[in-house]
Structure 1
Amino acid sequence: MRAAVVTEFGGPEAVTIADVEVPEPGAGQVRIKVAAAALNPVDGGTRAGVFGAAPGGAYTGLGWDAAGTVDAVGAGAGFAAGDAVVALVHGVAKPLGSHAEYVVVDGAAVARAPEAVDAVHAAALPLNALAADQALGLLDPAPGTSLLVTGAAGALGGYAIQLAGDRGVTVTGLARESDEELIRSLGAEFTTDPGRAAYDAVLDAAVLGGEQALRWTRDGGAFAAVIPNTAPPPARGIRTAALDVRADGARLAQLARLVDDGVLTPRVAETYALADAPKAHARLAEGGIRGRLVLVP
């Protein structure tokens, strides 16, 4: 099968399409025939060597998000061949990721796909929706409290706005002036500069850094970073935490239902053939994308 991998770290040109063996599922695992797989900033970091190489491998695989159809199952996997699914293929340094024709995933990381969107849009759900949901779990904002989401026009930020709004939280999105219409359409108030505002909770999806974003958090509030081990020290009674996203098929199934209910909106900016993965990485590196780039094997 074909898979997007890196054998030497570098820029977009480091991504190659390799012929590799089709992986076999073990006990509790499923093999997915990939119909679509989103490209995320973490894939750019993997390509550049930020996280190191896959242990013991000649190449490192790319891709965290997968949407497709179950093709084969191991004992006790909980799914059957033919099921339409989405999955989080967790890991920054792995031999194979979802940017491939087939991927094997633990059944506990898999959920039935939303029915209201196609596979391309479903592929934009797992990583960013789970990250937004788990970051909100760290903040635990109560209904009626205020939340500032930086990087609100991004995929993670957009899901955070919609999930928090569904909880009854008053959300303000920090983004560029050109993104105002988008932010308001997601259900948030909009700002380009919070100034002296102090929110009950701040989710720093833009990775501005704790010193900056803590200024917008009220005394005794809560702050969450979206990169592991980057939480600033607590200050002024503020709870601080950093997200380390984890696979959770049960919660992913609930998020998929929220797509069907119209609460969550997967956004796709562009699609690329798997063979054009280097071009997709080049577009990712340019920045300014509103929605996910998605590879189609």
Structure 2
Amino acid sequence: MKAIQQYDFGGPEVLTVTEIPEPEPRAGRVRVRVTGTSVNPADLAARAGWLRQVLPDLAPPFILGADLAGTVIDGDGPFAPGTRVAGLAPWFVNQEGTYAEVVSIDPAHLAQIPDGVDDVTAAAVPITSETAWQSLDLGGLEAGQTVLVTGASGAIGGWAVQHAAGRGAKVVAVASNGDEKYVEGLGADIVLGRAGDAGELAAAVRKAVPGGVDLVVDPAGIGGDLIHAVRDGGVFVVIAVVPEPLAERGVEVRRVSAQSDGALLAQILADLADGKKKARVGLILPLTEAAEAHRKSEERSVRGKIVLTV
């Protein structure tokens, strides 16, 4: 089968189209013929070697990729052969990536793709939507509270806005220039532009929410003085691989560690099928153009997820 291997750390050019054997059937696993995967910031960080800050033993060769959509071939679990599924592969645990034609995965990480959701859209959903949901959980968000979401134009931020609004929270979102209407459409109550440094952004938030927000979810990795936007005793959730802001005024700083959860993903996909949530796909490329997909992602020239089709 075709897969994208990397044999060294470096730029997109280290991603190599190669032929490797399909994974053999294994007890407790499902084999899935992949129809789509997607490019995430963690993929770029792993490829370049930046993730060795948190995974010191990480070393090539490996196959990148955490998101997948595809069709069950065989295996254990509740999914019959031919079932369309999506999932979040636990790449941080085993480095068994999804940039490949066939993957072997624990069925607990999978959810059936409902009618009305195509495979390309499903491939764009798992890691970002689940991370966003679990960030809000980690922050203890409750209905009626106010949450600040940075990077709301991006994948994790966009999902955090939608999930928070769906939970009955008031959402203050930081959007890229030109994306204000899009972010409003996700359910944000207040949309701020990303201008100035962290301190200036915190001041803008305090102007909009004088008492400070209950929770900050920070996919953009702004950190630092942005903690001033949180009320005394609130929570600041760090997502990106960046230094944590210094805690102050009883504000708790917590770092999310996303966990693959097939049941949660099933709920999110159902919301997509029902039109309650939406995923943003910006570019579709074949798997064999993974290097170009990484270049586009690093250039930040695409608004929305980059999906690789197989």
Question: Is the TM-score greater than 0.5?
Answer: yes
Band of TM-score, shorter chain: over 0.9
Relative distance call for 1:58 and 1:281 in structure 2 (3 A) is: closer
Counterparts of 2:57 and 2:219 in 1: how far apart (Å)? Answer: 29
TM-score, normalised with respect to structure 2:
0.89
Query: What amino acid does structure 2 have at the position aligned with 1:273?
Result: P
Partner of 1:237: 250
1:208 to 214, 222, 229: 222
Partner of 1:110: 110
Query: What amino acid does structure 2 have at the position aligned with 1:152?
Result: A
Counterparts of 1:205 and 1:35 in 2: how far apart (Å)? Answer: 27
The CA deviation at 1:35 is 0.6
Partner of 1:248: 261
Partner of 2:67: 65
Query: What amino acid does structure 2 have at the position aligned with 1:195?
Result: A
Contact 1:46–1:92 at 8 Å: present in 2 too?
Answer: no
Counterparts of 2:35 and 2:8 in 1: how far apart (Å)? Answer: 27
Which sections of structure 1, spanning at least 5 residues, go unmatched?
none
Partner of 1:190: 191
Counterparts of 2:141 and 2:56 in 1: how far apart (Å)? Answer: 37
The CA deviation at 1:94 is 4.5
Counterparts of 2:56 and 2:250 in 1: how far apart (Å)? Answer: 40
Over the residues paired in the alignment, what is the CA RMSD in angstroms? 2.0
Partner of 2:172: 172
The answer to whether structure 1 residue 286 and structure 2 residue 299 are counterparts is yes
Query: What amino acid does structure 2 have at the position aligned with 1:285?
Result: E
Counterparts of 1:194 and 1:115 in 2: how far apart (Å)? Answer: 42
Q: Write out aligned runs for 1:1-297 (5 A).
A: 1-52=1-52, 59-74=61-76, 77-92=77-92, 94-188=94-188, 189-192=190-193, 193-196=201-204, 197=206, 198-209=212-223, 211-227=224-240, 230-297=243-310
Q: Please list the CA deviations of residues 65-119 of structure 1 after superposition, one character each: whole Å capped at 9, or x if unmatched.
A: 0001101113xx2221111100101124745411110111111111111322210
Relative distance call for 1:232 and 1:195 in structure 2 (3 A) is: closer
Contact 1:2–1:17 at 8 Å: present in 2 too?
Answer: yes
| Worse-superposed segment, 283-292 or 128-137 | 283-292
Contact 1:228–1:243 at 8 Å: present in 2 too?
Answer: no
Relative distance call for 1:216 and 1:114 in structure 2 (3 A) is: farther
| Worse-superposed segment, 246-255 or 48-57 | 48-57
Contact 1:32–1:69 at 8 Å: present in 2 too?
Answer: yes
Alignment coverage as a number of residue pairs: 294
SS of the residue corresponding to residue 220 of structure 2 reads coil
SS of the residue corresponding to residue 195 of structure 1 reads helix
Counterparts of 1:181 and 1:114 in 2: how far apart (Å)? Answer: 28
The CA deviation at 1:231 is 4.0
SS of the residue corresponding to residue 249 of structure 2 reads coil
Contact 1:108–1:248 at 8 Å: present in 2 too?
Answer: yes
Which sections of structure 2, spanning at least 5 residues, go unmatched?
194-200, 207-211
Q: Percent identical across equivalent pairs?
A: 36
Counterparts of 2:297 and 2:8 in 1: how far apart (Å)? Answer: 19
Relative distance call for 1:61 and 1:236 in structure 2 (3 A) is: same
Counterparts of 1:54 and 1:214 in 2: how far apart (Å)? Answer: 29
Query: What amino acid does structure 1 have at the position aligned with 2:261?
Result: D
SS of the residue corresponding to residue 164 of structure 1 reads helix
Query: What amino acid does structure 2 have at the position aligned with 1:199?
Result: V
